[in-house]
Structure 1
Amino acid sequence: MCGRYVSSASTADLLAEFDVEEVVGAELRPSWNVAPTDPVRAVLQRPPKEPAEQAAPSKPVRQLRTLRWGLVPSWSPDPKGGARMINARIETVTEKPAFKKAAARRRCLLPAAGYYEWQKTDHGKVPYFLHDPDGRLLAMAGLYELWCDPTLAEDDPNRWLWSCTIITQQATDLLGEIHDRNPVLVPPELQAAWLDCSSDDPATARRILDQIPEARLEPYVVSPAVGNVRNDGPELIQPVELPEQERLQL
C-alpha cells in the first residue's frame, strides 16, 4: 500500500511539470509526511465553470486542485470511511463499485517527491523512502470523487467534499522485498491519456493501466520519526544508517 508520501513541490513547479492551466483552491504548505485524510494536490481535467446560458460545454482544462486523501464514494451515507480507502488495487479498480465510475470519469495524478514504506524485520519495522533515482517528481495514478453532504445548505462552501485515492500494484524486485505493494506511477507519455476521461468508460482506464511499466525507484532507510504523523520537515527524507545487527539481517 501507499500510506505516507512527500508533497514538497511548489505550485509553480507543479504548473510547469504538468502543464496546468487552472489552479483551484489555496496553495498548500509543503509536507514531508502526508497522511490519510490530509489535503493533497491533484492534477485533473474538468470543464471550467461557465454561465448557465452557454449552450455548448467548454473544453476540459487541466487543473491543480486540492482534494482530501481517502476516497468517499458519492453514495456513502457519510465521509467516515474515506480513511480506509486511501488506496485502490489495480487488479480490481475498474470493477469494484467504490471505484468503477471514478475510473471511467474521474482520473487524476497525485504528484509526489517520493513515498514511505515499512519493511518488517525481526527487530521491528524499518522505514524506507522511495524516490526517482534522478530526483524527478512521481505522478501517482489516482481517482477522485465528489460527495455531497445532505446536512448542509446548497450554498455552503463545504457541501461538496472532493476526495481521492492512489492506485497500487504488486511490487517487484527490490521494491517487493520492502513491501508487497507500490503506487502505480504514470510515465509522462501516458499522463494525457490518463487524465482524458472523455470516453466515460472504465475499459479505457484498464487499457492505460495495462500499458504502464513497472516502477523503478531507489529506496533508502530513513528515521523512524516518520512514523509519527505530527513530525514533518525535510529531515524526514534524510538517509540514516541501520545498526549493524539489522544491516546483517537485511
Structure 2
Amino acid sequence: MCGRFVVASTGSELVGVLRVDLESDDLPEPSYNVAPTDRVAIVIDSTKTEPPTRRLEAARWGLVPGWAKDPKIGVKAFNARSEELEGKPMFRNALQKRRAVVPASGYYEWKTTESGKVPHYIHPTDGSPLLMAGLYEWWKDAAKAEDDPTRWMLSFTILTRDSIGHLGSIHDRMPLFVDADHADAWLDPSTDNVGDVLDAAIDAAPSVAETLEDHTVSRAVGNVRNNSHELIEPSAE
C-alpha cells in the first residue's frame, strides 16, 4: 500500500519527462508528508480537446466517483489493487478513460518488526521523480451554485501491486510504478485495450522498483502535523 508520500518540488521540475502542456495555477506547495485527503499535483490527459491536452492539476488524494453522494467515500479509496480494478464499480469506469500519473519524490512505508512498525523512505537513487499509476474522477457538489468554482472536485487513487525484491521485505504491497516509456500509453484516454495497458504497467513496475533505495526515518512521520525536510533524513533511532 501507499499511505504517505513526498512531493518536494512542483510544476515543470516535478513532471520532467512527461511533457505537460498546461499547469494549473493553484498547484499545492511541496509537502514532505502527504496524507489521504491532501491535495497534490497529478498528470492527466484531458479529453476536452482533440488531441487530448496533458495537464498538471491539483487533486485530492482519495477517489470520489461521480455517483457518490458524499466525498467522504474517498477517505478509504486512496489505494486500489491493480489486480481487482475491473471487478470493482468504484474504479471500473475510471480505469477505462480516466487514468493518471502521480509524480512524487518518494513514499513512506512501515515495516513490522519485533519492536513495532518502523517507517522507511523509499525513493529513486538519482533524485528523479517517481511516477505512480493512478485513476482520477471529477465529483460535482450539487449543493453549490453552478458558477461556484469549487463545485467540481478532482480526486485520485494510487494503484498498487505485489511488492518485489527488497521492497517486499518492507511491505507486501507497493505502488504500481510506471516509467516514462509506459506513461504515455497509461495516460492515453483513447486506447481500446485497457487490459493490455494495465498488464503492461504491472509487468514494467518491477524494473522501476529495482532502481529504488530506502532508509529508515523518524517515527515523527506518523503524525500528519509534522511536515519538514527532516522527515526524509536517515533516522538516528
Q: 1:175 to 1:211 in 2, by over 3 A?
A: closer
Which amino acid is 1:221 matched to?
Answer: T
Which amino acid is 1:13 matched to?
Answer: E
Alignment equivalent of 2:236, drawn from 224, 237, 241? 241
Larger Rg belongs to: 1
Q: Structure 2: any 5+ residue segments left out of the alignment? A: none
Q: CA–CA distance in 1 between the matches of 2:173 and 2:196?
A: 23
Q: 1:115 to 1:15 in 2, by over 3 A?
A: closer
Q: What residue is the counterpart of 1:84 in the other structure?
A: 76
Q: What residue is the counterpart of 2:23 in the other structure?
A: 23
Query: What is the alpha-carbon root mean square deviation over aligned residues?
Result: 1.5
Displacement, 1:82? 0.5
Q: Is the Cα–Cα contact under 8 Å of residues 104 and 203 in structure 1 kept in the other structure?
A: no
User: 1:154-213 CA deviation, whole Å, 9 max, x = no partner?
Assistant: 111111111000000111222111111110110111111011011356424434334423
Q: 1:60 to 1:198 in 2, by over 3 A?
A: same
User: Structure 1 stretches (4+) deviating beyond 3 angstroms?
Assistant: none
User: 1:2-54 CA deviation, whole Å, 9 max, x = no partner?
Assistant: 00000112313135432111012413211000000000100111145xxxxxx
Q: What residue is the counterpart of 1:199 in the other structure?
A: 191
Which amino acid is 2:95 matched to?
Answer: A
Which amino acid is 1:230 matched to?
Answer: R
Q: CA–CA distance in 1 between the matches of 2:111 and 2:203?
A: 28
* 2:95 equivalent to 1:103: yes
Q: What residue is the counterpart of 1:119 in the other structure?
A: 111
Q: What residue is the counterpart of 1:34 in the other structure?
A: 34
What is the TM-score when the length of structure 1 is the normalising length? 0.89
Q: Is the Cα–Cα contact under 8 Å of residues 6 and 105 in structure 2 kept in the other structure?
A: yes
Q: 1:2 to 1:61 in 2, by over 3 A?
A: same
Q: CA–CA distance in 2 between the matches of 1:34 and 1:237?
A: 12
Which amino acid is 1:9 matched to?
Answer: S
Q: Is the Cα–Cα contact under 8 Å of residues 14 and 129 in structure 2 kept in the other structure?
A: no
Q: CA–CA distance in 1 between the matches of 2:143 and 2:51?
A: 33
Which of the pair is proportionally richer in helix? 2
Q: CA–CA distance in 2 between the matches of 1:187 and 1:111?
A: 11
User: 1:50-96 CA deviation, whole Å, 9 max, x = no partner?
Assistant: xxxxxxx5311110000000001111111011110000001112321
Between the aligned residues of both structures, percent identity stands at: 45
Q: What residue is the counterpart of 1:222 in the other structure?
A: 217
Number of equivalences: 234
Q: 1:97 to 1:21 in 2, by over 3 A?
A: same
